[in-house]
Structure 1
Amino acid sequence: MLKGQKIVLGVCGGIAAYKAAALTSKLIQAGANVKVIMTKSATEFITPLTFQALSRHEVYTDTFIEPKASEIAHIELADWADKIIIAPATANLIAKLANGLADDMLTTTLLATKAPVYIAPAMNVNMYNHKAVQRNMTTLKEDGVIFIDADEGFLACGWVGKGRLAEPEDIVEFLEEETARNLAQHNEIYNRNILITAGPTQEQIDPARYFTNYSSGKMGYALAKAARSLGGKVTLISGPSSQTPPKGVSFISVTSAQDMLEAVQSHSQDSDIIIKSAAVADYKPIQTLQQKQKKKMSNWSIEMEKTTDILAALGNQKQEGQILVGFAAETDQVEQYARGKLEKKHLDMIVANQIGQEGTGFHSDSNEVLILTKDERQKRVSKAPKLEIAYEILNEISHYIVRNGSR
């Protein structure tokens, strides 16, 4: 969600300034273009050269240094920014901004910008709780400034309490979710009931063994996170996975293909969009042993039977206007098999990818996919992080709904 965003990062003079370097790096990794303004006090904790190396831009520290004679630097930065983030924000900076003071590069830029301003405070717990600081923060909130709340914990001064700068990854996630929320009401995902399946299933052989597959659940969990950030009402049904369910998502844990089937059936009727990204076992042992099978000198054969094809069942009972999306993980003839699955299982859309390639597919943090739709559109998405792929898929679902309607 931050890809291509122009972000000005303001760094104030506090011990948490070192975290701003990590934040710069993470914003760059998220695809943002970052320019840094440092207060004079901030340069006592960390050098401008650090931020210059990370951002690949010059760092602004002095209002009276004008690199280009044709521009006024703080006005140019104020106009350039899509967002301005102050992290860490000290009590001093918060007081200045609340009272409209502008005596350095950062505060003059803040007063000149029309971009949304985000403040991530960092200070001693007693300073944070001081009535004057709280009053200043209330004033800024009323002015439209968005606060990224401080964490509680052990502070550099030795106190324990609220005042620790939010972790860089949490700040990036907050900004991504804010960006998504701003776009949500212009997206067909907004306020719809969305059912997503993720992960593998496990089919028990005996109390010590089971059949499974290589699915990690990363793609399904990314879809759930993205759909929730776009304003969807998300239910995530997952097989065994080490992934953490996204915040704000209704989560259902299952183990076997039968468990997955029953959970899906109990929620499918109320779902506007169903995205089945789970890798459900196609076969299971006919007989489940109650005692562990002991090692023998001879070979051991296990007779298997087919499980219920959940995606086909959903396609056969699909309601009018309901959107059904499947996945096809193939080793060869990816597009051919995906098109066959799209038609045979009465899908609206299928997301196909080739497994076995390095850096994509199961367990990888990245993927590259081919998206095919019932109305004969297609889109290839080049290798990218799975969360980015998730937004691309949801964007295509949104476009499909605009073209074809939904219930």
Structure 2
Amino acid sequence: MLAVATVGFAVTFWAWALLSPLGATLREQLHLSSFQQSLLVAVPVVVGSLGRIPVGALTDRLGARRMFPVMALLTVLPVLYLGHFATSLTGYLVGGFFLGLGGTTFAIGVPFVNSWYPPARRGLALGIFGIGMGGTAISSFTTVQLAKTVGPSFPFDLVAVVLAGYAVAAWLLLRDRPDRPVAAGTMWSRLRATLRLPATLQLSFLYAVAFGGFVAFSVYEPTYLVSAYHLDKADAAMRTAGFVVLAVAMRPVGGWLSDRFDPISVLLAAFGATALLAVLAAFQLALVPVGTLAFLGMAAALGAGTGAVFALVARMVPAERVGAVTGVVGAAGGLGGFFPPLVMGLVYGLTGSYLIGFLLLAATAASAAAVSATVVRRRAATVR
């Protein structure tokens, strides 16, 4: 069940991230400004993030066996539209809006995996499931190269076929745990109850910083490397894929460390390292080796932090509300990835530098470390 859910997460995230590697190419083709380019690649992020709220609540009621195939099939439509019919900024924004459906499956997989594992192993299990966010790495590695060598629509056709195949496999293979708790009440009443949980807002902030930072870099780093270091677009996409792969690999490590030690300690280390490395990156030192080490260090820290946050979700949230809480927390994480690319594009357009953007990241990470050490630590202690 964990393997099938992880594959589904990866496939739908691959679709969700299709526009990001093409950002620089679309900017040239459509004559976009820096802000318009940032908006184009950010729209699927915000839609996929907000969509996790209802999708998580529906998963608590309907189960993953129904939700995974449905969301995979629905994502096929915008993928094909973007590959064959979008020709303008408006067209790509409309397609990107519906492409956001692919980003909602995180809220399906977390309650599903959580139900199959005992509390002592949930941190690692959810971390392994989180490897599925490596679908963004698949997109970074393949989209530009396939578009160049085969044709501009081929990456979209390939993803559409894979999504359809996964929908069939998920319907045949996935099984919800028979004794899983099923949430009572309407979706809206459960959402209101979820938002009243103190843990929901606290964990949402932490995930907005950890996962939001990961999403922001995976979306905007190709543009940043081309603008700041004048790299070839294919080279920038490959380096971004390396950032994503390391962050993905560190997510189960963060979950495992949280099971073995304490999620709060993992978060303090992750956010502290992110703050320090963001300050280092702000000065745009030589890409080799200092800049590369700074970005890879942030990838490792943010990846471990995402694993630690959901280890806390498994500890602090009642089982029948994990889907709804995951939807809200996951939405916060995606929204955390929506704003930084817009800010970076706007700051660069106004100042010609990324210094202010990285300093804002450092301040935000430091704030997350402070919240982890105080408010969240006290809340976690009350539910043990």
Q: Higher helix proportion, which one?
A: 2
Q: Higher strand proportion, which one?
A: 1
Q: Tell me if TM exceeds 0.5.
A: no
Q: TM-score range by the shorter chain?
A: under 0.3
Q: TM-score, normalised to structure 1's length?
A: 0.20
